C-alpha cells in the first residue's frame, strides 16, 4: 500500500506542477522535453541507427541455415521407369565470411558514425526544444506583465475620469474634458481586453510544445549568462551538436563510399555443410554427407548495380560535405544575429528605463500643475499614456534581451536546462 502511494504521488507530481503557474523557465522546458514530437522523432531515429549498426556487425558472423525437404518423384533413365520415390533431404549449412576486402568493416564504421550522428541530432533537438519552450514561456510571462500594466493603467484612468466628472460638476472643467477622459478610458478598456486575449494566445503557443495547458508567471527575469565576446561565442560552434551530427554524417558517407567500392572486389567465404538424403534420383538408399570448402567469389557483372552504388555513395559524400558547410554557416549567422539583437535590446532597455523615469517625473509634475490650473486634462492624459508606453517599452526590451540571450546560447550549443535555473 505504501509503495502504491509513492507511485501515485510520483505520477501526480507533474500534473500538480502544471496545474498552477510556473515560476521558472526550466519547469516549462522540462515538460516540453517530455511531450515535444521532435524529441520522440530524434529518439526513434537513434534507435533505428543502432539497429543498423547491429545489422552491419552481422557481416562478421556466420550464416547458419537448416534446410529440409520432402516430396514425391518419378525418374526415367534410359527408357526404364523407376518406381515412384519419396525423396527427403535434411541439411545444416554454415557460411562464414573470411575476407571481403574491407566491405564489412567499412559498413560497420559507417553505421557507428550514423549512430553518433543520430545521437548528436537528438542533442541538437533537445537544445531546440529548450530554446523554443523557454521563449514561449517568456512570452506567456510577458503577456501577463503587459496585462497587469494595462489593468493598472485602466484603473488609473478610471480614477482620472471620476475626478474629471467631479470637477465638471463643480464647474471647473468643461464637457470636452470629460469626453476626452471618457475616450481615453474606453481606449484603455479595449487595450486591456487585447492584452487579456494575448495571454491566451501566448499560452496556446506554449501548449503546442508542452501538450497541455501551462501558465508561467516569473518572479523575476532569468539571468541568462552568455559568452563575454562575439569571438568566444563563435569559437563554440564546432562543439555544437548540429555540427557534430553533420561531421559524423560526413564520416558515414565516406565509409559508405568505401563499402560501395569494396563491392567491386572479390570475397572469400568458408562454407561447411552436413546432411542426409534418401531416395534421390541416384540412389534409393539413405546417404549421409558433409563438406567444407573455401569459396572465392569474383564479381564480373552485377547488372550495373555495383557501379551505380559507387556513384550514389559519391553523391551522398558531396551532399554531406555541403551539409557540414551549410550547418556551420547557419549557426555562425545565428550567433551574429543573436549577439547583435542582444546588444540592441540592452541599449533599448537602458533607453526605456530612462524614458520610464522621465515619464514618472513628468506625470507628477503635470498633476501638480493641473491642480494649479496651468495644465489641462489632455496634458494629464497624455502624460499618463506616455508613462504606460514607457512601462511597456521596458517590458518589451527586457523580453527581447532575454530571448536574444536564449537564441545565442542555443546557437553556440551551450543551452541546457541548468541555464534556465540561474
**Backbone phi and psi for residue 285, each to the nearest 5 degrees, phi listed first:** -105, 165
Cell of 317: 559524400
DSSP state for residue 84 in the 8-state scheme: P
Q: Is residue 376 helix, strand or coil?
A: coil
Burial class (CB in 10 A: 0-12, 13-18, 19+), 206: buried
Pairing status of strand 80-81 against strand 76-77? antiparallel
pTM beyond 0.75, yes or no? yes
Residue found by looking up cell 541599449 in the block: 347
Pairing status of strand 63-70 against strand 80-81? unpaired
Query: Residue 256 belongs to what H/E stretch?
Result: helix 241-262
What Rg value do the Cα atoms of the chain yield, rounded?
37
- Residue 153 near residue 187, CB atoms below 8 Å: no
* Cα(417)–Cα(200) distance, integer angstroms: 25
Cell of 69: 525437404
* Cα(88)–Cα(158) distance, integer angstroms: 101
DSSP state for residue 303 in the 8-state scheme: T
pLDDT at 79: 62
- Residue 241 near residue 413, CB atoms below 8 Å: yes
Helical H runs in 295-421?
305-372, 377-412
Q: Could you read off the pLDDT tens digit of each residue along the chain, which spans 422 residues?
A: 334 333 333 433 343 334 467 778 999 999 999 999 999 999 999 999 999 999 999 989 999 999 998 888 777 766 666 677 788 889 999 999 998 888 899 999 999 999 999 999 999 999 999 999 999 999 999 999 999 999 999 999 999 999 899 988 988 888 998 999 999 999 999 999 999 999 999 999 999 999 889 999 998 877 888 888 999 999 888 899 999 999 999 999 999 999 998 888 899 999 999 998 887 766 777 888 888 999 898 888 878 888 898 999 999 999 999 999 999 999 999 999 999 999 999 999 999 999 999 999 999 999 898 888 888 889 899 999 999 999 999 999 999 999 999 999 999 999 998 888 75
Complete DSSP assignment for 11-31: HHHHHHHHHSPBSSHHHHHHH
Residues in Cβ contact with 263 at an 8 Å cutoff, skipping those fewer than 6 apart: 103, 299, 302, 306, 309, 310
From start to end of 15-123, where are the E strands? 63-70, 76-77, 80-81, 88-99
pLDDT at 148: 95
Amino acid at each position: 500500500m505504501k509503495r502504491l502511494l509513492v507511485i501515485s504521488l510520483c505520477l501526480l507530481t507533474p500534473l500538480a506542477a502544471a496545474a498552477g503557474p510556473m515560476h521558472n523557465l526550466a519547469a516549462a522546458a522540462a515538460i516540453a522535453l517530455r511531450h515535444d514530437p521532435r524529441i520522440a522523432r530524434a529518439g526513434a531515429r537513434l534507435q533505428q541507427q543502432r539497429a543498423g549498426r547491429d545489422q552491419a556487425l552481422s557481416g562478421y558472423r556466420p550464416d547458419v541455415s537448416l534446410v529440409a525437404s520432402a516430396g514425391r518423384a518419378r525418374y526415367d533413365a534410359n527408357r526404364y521407369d523407376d518406381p515412384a520415390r519419396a525423396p527427403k533431404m535434411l541439411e545444416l549449412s554454415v557460411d562464414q565470411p573470411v575476407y571481403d576486402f574491407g566491405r564489412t568493416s567499412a559498413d560497420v564504421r559507417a553505421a557507428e558514425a550514423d549512430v553518433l550522428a543520430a545521437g548528436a541530432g537528438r542533442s541538437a533537438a533537445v537544445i531546440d526544444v529548450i530554446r523554443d519552450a523557454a521563449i514561449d514561456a517568456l512570452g506567456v510571462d510577458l503577456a501577463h506583465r503587459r496585462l497587469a500594466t494595462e489593468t493598472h493603467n485602466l484603473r488609473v484612468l478610471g480614477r482620472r475620469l471620476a475626478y474629471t466628472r467631479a470637477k465638471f460638476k463643480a464647474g471647473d472643467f468643461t464637457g470636452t474634458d470629460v469626453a476626452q477622459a471618457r475616450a481615453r478610458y474606453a481606449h484603455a478598456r479595449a487595450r486591456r481586453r487585447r492584452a487579456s486575449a494575448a495571454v491566451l494566445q501566448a499560452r496556446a503557443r506554449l501548449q503546442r510544445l508542452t501538450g497541455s495547458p501551462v501558465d508561467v508567471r516569473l518572479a523575476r527575469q532569468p539571468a541568462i549568462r552568455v559568452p563575454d565576446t562575439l569571438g568566444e561565442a563563435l569559437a563554440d560552434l564546432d562543439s555544437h551538436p548540429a555540427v557534430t551530427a553533420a561531421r559524423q554524417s560526413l564520416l558515414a558517407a565516406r565509409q559508405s563510399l568505401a563499402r560501395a567500392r569494396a563491392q567491386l572486389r572479390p570475397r572469400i567465404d568458408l562454407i561447411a555443410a552436413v546432411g542426409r538424403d534418401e531416395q534421390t534420383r541416384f540412389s534409393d538408399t539413405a546417404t549421409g554427407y558433409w563438406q567444407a570448402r573455401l569459396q572465392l567469389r569474383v564479381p564480373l557483372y552485377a547488372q550495373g548495380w555495383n557501379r551505380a552504388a559507387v556513384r550514389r555513395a559519391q553523391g551522398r559524400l558531396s551532399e554531406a560535405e555541403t551539409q557540414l558547410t551549410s550547418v556551420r554557416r547557419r549557426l555562425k549567422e545565428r550567433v551574429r544575429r543573436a549577439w547583435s539583437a542582444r546588444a540592441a535590446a540592452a541599449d533599448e532597455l537602458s533607453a526605456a528605463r530612462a524614458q520610464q523615469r522621465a515619464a514618472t517625473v513628468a506625470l507628477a509634475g503635470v498633476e501638480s500643475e493641473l491642480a494649479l490650473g496651468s495644465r489641462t486634462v489632455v496634458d494629464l492624459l497624455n502624460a499618463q499614456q506616455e508613462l504606460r508606453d514607457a512601462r511597456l517599452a521596458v517590458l518589451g526590451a527586457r523580453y527581447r534581451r532575454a530571448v536574444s540571450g536564449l537564441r545565442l546560447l542555443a546557437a553556440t550549443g551551450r543551452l541546457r536546462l541548468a541555464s534556465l535555473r540561474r
